């Protein structure tokens, strides 16, 4: 039997696999940002509130997710077991010794957090500091990054330049000659980098908001 908890958990998993919070998923789908919030899942009268088929359809379309995949998210065949994921401060990611030239964790100075298994043994977490990425990511948020995940237009990504600059942006366009990035903070300008300037680029799979 399909349960209220299963459907909402599937929406949470859909958001996480797209590197979004539930409110971020709603915004990408063109819905009110609170549509998928936990506070909306039970009414003030303590009745269960189910997501509409329209909102689910828009979320699937916005993330390019087939319905069959959403069904799998409702009741995964195997439970995701937490595993240790390396954790580093975002500001430290640009320094030497923490990430190699391929954007993979290196060195011994990493902490760890538990996170459900992702299909990338090199996935790692970065702790956000400061206000430069608000409102998408706030000081203290944790993002999980996958160097192996495929990247497409609209994905949120972490980019490191050959000069050591590390930034979290939304990918607008990527060609053989350039990488166009949209700022997550409207007060900061978008960036266009020559492809030769980019050392690595990795997709953000999940954020702790």
Residue 171 in any domain: the answer is: yes
Residue 186 in any domain: the answer is: yes
Residue 80 in any domain: the answer is: no
43 and 105, same domain (yes or no): no
Residues spanned by the domain of 48:
4-74
* Residues in contact with 129: Cβ distance below 8 Å, sequence separation at least 6, in sequence order: 89, 90, 91, 139, 140
Residue 87 in any domain: the answer is: no
Of 207, 198, 160, nearest to 176 by C-alpha is 198
148 versus 179: which is more confidently predicted? Answer: 179
* pLDDT band at residue 198 under the 50/70/90 scheme: very high
CATH number, domain of 16, equals 1.10.260.40
Of 6, 69, 57, 70, nearest to 29 by C-alpha is 57
Q: What angle do CA 48, 54, 56 make, to 5 degrees?
A: 70
Torsion of CA 74, 3, 36, 119, to 10 degrees: -20
Number of domains in the chain: 2
Of the listed ranges 95-99, 128-132, 147-151, 192-196, the one predicted with least confidence: 95-99
* pLDDT band at residue 206 under the 50/70/90 scheme: confident
* Residues in contact with 39: Cβ distance below 8 Å, sequence separation at least 6, in sequence order: none
- Whole-prediction pTM: 0.61
Residue 88 in any domain: the answer is: no
Tell me how far apart the alpha carbons of residues 72 and 4 are, in angstroms, rounded to a whole number: 15
197 versus 105: which is more confidently predicted? Answer: 197
- pLDDT reading at 193 higher than 90: yes
Structural domain ending residue among the three candidates 39, 74, 109: 74
- Residue 204 belongs to what H/E stretch? strand 198-207
């Amino acid at each position: 039997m399909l349960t209220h908890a299963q459907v909402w958990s599937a929406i949470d998993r859909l958001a996480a696999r797209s590197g979004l919070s539930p409110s971020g998923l709603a915004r990408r789908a063109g819905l009110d940002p609170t549509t998928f919030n936990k506070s909306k899942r039970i009414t003030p009268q303590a009745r269960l509130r189910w997501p509409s088929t329209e909102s689910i359809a828009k979320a699937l379309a916005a993330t390019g997710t087939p319905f069959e995949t959403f069904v799998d998210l409702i009741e995964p065949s195997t439970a995701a077991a937490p595993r240790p994921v390396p954790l580093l401060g975002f500001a430290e990611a640009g320094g030497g010794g923490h990430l190699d030239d391929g954007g993979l964790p290196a060195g011994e100075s990493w902490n760890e957090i538990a996170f459900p298994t992702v299909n990338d043994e090199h996935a790692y977490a970065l702790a956000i500091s400061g206000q430069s990425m608000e409102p998408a990511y706030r000081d203290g948020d944790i993002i999980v990054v996958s160097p192996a995940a495929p990247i497409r237009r609209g994905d949120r990504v972490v980019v490191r330049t050959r000069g050591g600059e590390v930034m979290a942006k939304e990918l607008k366009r990527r060609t053989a000659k350039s990488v166009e990035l949209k700022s997550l903070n409207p007060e900061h300008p978008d960036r266009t980098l020559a492809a030769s300037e980019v050392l690595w680029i990795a997709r953000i799979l999940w954020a702790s908001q």
